[in-house]
Chains A and B, each alone.
Chain A
Amino acid sequence: MSDITKQSLSELVKNIKDKKLSSEEVTKAFINRSEKSKELNAYITEDYSSALEKAKKFDQKPNLELKLPGIPMAVKDLFCTDSIRTTAGSKILNNFVPTYESTVTQNIWNEGAILLGKLNCDEFAMGSSNETSFFGNVQNPIDKNLVPGGSSGGSASAVAGQLTPITIGTDTGGSIRQPASFTGTVGLKPTYGSCSRYGIVAFASSLDQAGPMAQNVKDCALLQEVISTYDPKDSTSIDFKRNEYSKELSKNIKGKKIGIPKEYRVDGMPQEIEELWQKGIQYAKNCGAEIVDISLPHTSYALPTYYIVAPAEASSNLARYDGVKYGFRAKGENLTDMYEKTRSEGFGAEVQRRIMIGTYVLSSGYYDAYYLKAQKVRKLIKNDFDEAYKKVDAILTPSTPSSAFKIGEKKDDPVSMYLNDIFTVPVNLAGLPGISIPAGHDAKGYPLGLQIIGKAFDEQNILNIAYAMEEKINFKNKITDWWIK
């Protein structure tokens, strides 16, 4: 089989289970393609030789009952992996090798998957274009010098470029859904508390959530089924009944009520995004869903609220990177000098910007005006969704206000960069699940995504809607392998 890497996860699992493919063949195929794809810069750390060893070992005694039998996969470099360098895309963790495994990745290995390597991302997941990574830009397989989105840019690029059959990312304000949208792939941000945060380098604890990224909805459902477990090691993990998402996947969404929030029709939104949205509404109708106009009145406050809450938590979460215990340390005259040099040399500009914003909004005298107020607005945003869900089962919006942009295009304009997250951020603030599916192309031929937002813990429902719409949309990603010489 020459085109192993073109196969979806479900196909690969079937072929391995049917013994048509060995784990070694599959692993080799993805390693070969990854090696030919260095120009994408999707990987920070490769672990190919030990991946091959594990694949051979798997083949010797294959356990075909597992959900990911001998499936190789690379993961975002925000997940701590035992004995494998974990950098969070930062110089400050350049040489950090954990002695422990994140719960989410452990769940994956427990189901038979094999680590290929660690994927590039924005530094500490702060960014929407993967340009803040200490390890350089990631190329979007869609076109040369196009950003893959962020912060899970390496993950999106690797899935779209078929360097890994599936992957996991993390999403604090859109970091799974926006890059999925930019690369023509599927990305799910689960309900807050669905996937354990244990062992994931923290950005903003009340918003961070790991999730699957894949070529299609079914693969996404299967991976979600694997990674979502209750974990007592994470106090915010929630013990609820989790579906077997892939088994329970259904295209029958007849009679489902899907809300269209008028506030998502933002000023200056490109016509093609509006058209995509209308097309999406039509697809949903074609699937038998009922369209309902709804209002989420506090939507416009979501982005400023996010850019207070997330930096505030980040400023505190990143205090541990001080050069004392692990990671990068610069020499200093005394303790304070060492701190200052370590942190100004170890953190990039965007991370420093957010630490400063976060420190400012928590400072005495400003706390009430910023942080406390943001918490109140966050509650209102959540209430908006609660109200809406009295009338509808899910909400349909565009994933992003534009398609992928060129590397460097927005690098010096943080606000314009932040605007990328305008449709995804409210979902994190409300702790809800959201999925982005590819739904069309813009005039340049770049992919565009639609976002389906669900009720808390209702991943099955949005996966089903996405699954039904996916069939109707019949999206074909235009990957030309331009980077392979």
Chain B
Amino acid sequence: MSKNKSEYLINRKDNQYEVVIGLEVHAQVTSESKLFSASSTKFGAEPNTQVSLVDAAFPGMLPVINEFCVKQAIKTGIGLNAKINNRSVFDRKNYFYADLPQGYQISQFKDPIVGEGKVILDMPEGQKEVGIERLHLEQDAGKSIHDLDPQNTFVDLNRSGVALMEIVSKPDLRSPDEVSAYIKKLRSIMRYLGTCDGNMQEGSLRADVNVSVRAKGSKEFGTRCEIKNVNSIKFMQMAIEYEANRQVDLIEEGKSIDQETRLFDTKKNETRSMRSKEDAHDYRYFPDPDLLPLEVSDEFINQLKTDIPELPDDKKKRFIEEFKLSPYEANILVSDIDTGKYFEEVVAKMGKNKDIKLAVNWITGELFAVLNNKNLEISQSPISAKNLAILVNLIKNGTISGKIAKTVFELMMDGDKDPQKIVEEKGLKQQSDPKALEALIDKIINDNRDKAIEYKQGKEKLFGFFVGQAMKVSGGKANPQLINEILKKKL
């Protein structure tokens, strides 16, 4: 679309438009129980089986803050390099809906628990900093189910009261790719911290996407539209693309953009107006009188800081320095906490004489392909880090060739077998005995006299033919390096 590969611009006739995107990410806090009650947060339970009297807003029931959720929010704030506020206030956001039992959502409006921070994205053209406006804690609502009965709506309150972190970015994102990188980075940080599992299928991570467009070079923001509740990165990207083009078209037609809330229709791939600014809810926010302001001391925060694990940015830096990886390789390995863990375990099990590059290639190549095919997380890998380390070592010390290794790898998947054993049992060990190989080559040359003569006369291409024959006859086990050496000598 645009000349500069890194820049996402929308072109119309002589005009170029830049897209400005801000995200409000709703991340479900990883916790056993809900934000203000002791009910379980487990996903997938029978409807209305994880509902306390507080969650269902029975008369006289009162919220009591879950300290663990507060800690999770603070840890996340630390992971986002953000300011942790010593004092924050829970407010009531008032509106009526069937799946909102209290008639209000307890949220944080004026005084959130976490203030400004930043996230670094690794884009192909370099690093990009995205500002975090704030992070606040709030309750999730229940779920309305409209398609079970033609007359009635059913309500499932299992989610009602589950703790969410709303992470609001500054309008710093400029393309669908940056949005994708941003979401992935947030998810990665939270998974490292153990504060959100980032599972988008289960709704643990979803976002409201604010989109506006402006003429390239303009400093003013355009009128934005908010696309509500998008629950996959792909849909976010599609929604942004559609919405940005819609807005550009309006401007090109000389029309104005209405500030409004829109919905993304994933089937039709379009956004549709949900409500205009005039129809916007008046949420009548006010401090929840059932809860005292939340006060956290510096000591409390500092204690949590000591619990923070090495985060992706630091891990990446260390991988580059310690293992001499390229930034690209390091990025791939740190993006998911379990991948980093797996990689480091492989490195540890490889022992002294190790080939880290080779290990990286095997993890990001063969292993990722298998996981992808089988739709597995690395934590569910059919091949343990220990056995992969052994396999890499077998290649490194010449016991098997890379080609044989692929066969071994396939066999390893059946019950995480020890590659050493596979090699022994199947007799896959590389042939490196020079005498045996010489005999083998002598026979090949003998059988192909005519080709040997052609080679000597200058048809050097035929060298490959002899290598191939050697490999074929040896069942792929011949040491390719030795074959090369012997062939050169003999031909």
Chain A positions within 8 Å of B, measured between CB atoms, are: 79-80, 86, 88, 93, 96, 98-100, 102, 197-202, 204-206, 232-236, 312-313, 315-316, 318-320, 322, 324-326, 335-336, 339, 359, 362-364, 367, 371
Contact = CB atoms under 8 A, between A and B. Distances in A.
A322 B103 contact: yes
Interface stretch (B194-202, B220-228, B281-289, B416-424): B281-289
Contacts of A235: 62-65, 290-292
Contact of B59 (A202, A312, A324, A335): A202
A376 to B, nearest CB: 13
Nearest to B290: A205
Interface in B187-213: none
B98 A335 contact: yes
B333 to A, nearest CB: 45
Interface stretch (B50-58, B69-77, B163-171): B50-58
A313 B289 contact: yes
Nearest to A358: B284
B60 A233 contact: no
A233 B286 contact: no
Contact of A326 (B58, B155, B290): B58
Given A93-B59, A363-B284, A236 B101 contact: no
Interface in B91-105: 92, 94, 96-98, 101-104
Most buried by A among B56, B60, B101, B282: B60
B284 A320 contact: no
Nearest to A324: B98
Contact of A98 (B59, B65, B96, B97): B59
Given A204-B289, A316-B103, 17 more contacts: A80-B60, A197-B62, A199-B61, A201-B59, A232-B64, A233-B62, A235-B62, A235-B63, A236-B289, A316-B94, A316-B286, A320-B101, A324-B98, A326-B58, A335-B153, A363-B282, A371-B286
Given A316-B286, A320-B101, A324-B155, A199 B96 contact: no
B53 to A, nearest CB: 6
Contact of A86 (B59, B98, B282, B284): B59
Contact of A198 (B62, B104, B284, B286): B62
A80 B58 CA distance: 10
Nearest to B153: A335
B411 to A, nearest CB: 58
A206 B53 CA distance: 21
A335 B286 CA distance: 25
Most buried by B among A80, A235, A325: A235
B468 to A, nearest CB: 75
B57 A320 contact: yes
Contacts of A202: 59-60, 290
Interface string B102-137: 111000000000000000000000000000000000
Question: Do most interface residues of chain A lie in helix, strand or loop, or is the interface mixed?
Answer: loop
B60 A316 contact: no
B282 A236 contact: no
Contacts of B282: 363-364
Contact of A319 (B59, B103, B289, B290): B103
A96 B286 contact: no
Contact of B102 (A79, A320, A363, A364): A320
Nearest to B286: A362
8 contacts: A98-B58, A198-B61, A205-B289, A234-B62, A325-B58, A335-B97, A362-B284, A362-B286
Contact of A96 (B59, B94, B103, B153): B59
A102 B60 contact: yes
Contacts of B97: 335
Most buried by B among A86, A236, A316: A316
A449 B59 CA distance: 32
Nearest to B284: A362
Contacts of B103: 316, 318-320, 322
B102 A88 contact: no
B55 to A, nearest CB: 11
Contacts of B101: 320, 324-325
A353 B65 CA distance: 32
Contacts of A198: 60-62
Contacts of B58: 80, 98, 100, 325-326
Most buried by A among B92, B102, B284, B290: B284
Contacts of B288: 205
The 9 closest A-B pairs by CB, nearest first: A319-B103, A205-B289, A362-B284, A206-B289, A199-B60, A320-B57, A201-B59, A80-B60, A200-B60
Nearest to A124: B59
Contacts of B104: 316, 319
A292 B289 CA distance: 35
Nearest to A339: B96
Interface in B1-57: 53, 56-57
Nearest to B291: A235
Interface in B276-321: 282, 284-286, 288-292
A319 B94 contact: yes
Nearest to B97: A335
B58 to A, nearest CB: 7
A236 B289 CA distance: 9
Contacts of A324: 98, 101, 155
A319 B286 contact: no
A326 B97 CA distance: 15
A205 B289 CA distance: 6
Nearest to A87: B59
A218 B57 CA distance: 37
B65 A319 contact: no
Nearest to B93: A316
Interface in B354-368: none
A98 B285 CA distance: 29
B60 A359 contact: no
A352 to B, nearest CB: 15
B102 A319 contact: yes
A236 B290 contact: yes
Nearest to A88: B59
B59 A320 contact: yes
Contact of A325 (B56, B64, B289, B290): B56
B154 to A, nearest CB: 11
Most buried by B among A86, A322, A335: A322
Contacts of A363: 282, 284
A80 B62 CA distance: 13
B64 A233 contact: yes
A313 B288 CA distance: 9
Nearest to B155: A324
Contacts of B284: 315-316, 359, 362-364, 367
A104 B373 CA distance: 61
A316 B64 contact: no
A201 B61 CA distance: 8
Contacts of B102: 319-320
Interface in B136-190: 153, 155
A313 B290 CA distance: 10
B60 A236 contact: no
A321 B198 CA distance: 35
A100 B153 contact: no
A251 B285 CA distance: 48
A198 B290 CA distance: 10
A322 B59 contact: no
A394 B50 CA distance: 49
Contact of A236 (B56, B94, B292): B292
Contacts of B62: 197-198, 233-235
Contacts of A315: 94, 284
Contacts of A197: 60, 62
A80 B102 CA distance: 17
A232 B64 CA distance: 8
A24 to B, nearest CB: 31
Contacts of A319: 94, 96, 102-104
Nearest to B36: A235
A273 to B, nearest CB: 32
Most buried by A among B53, B59, B101, B286: B59
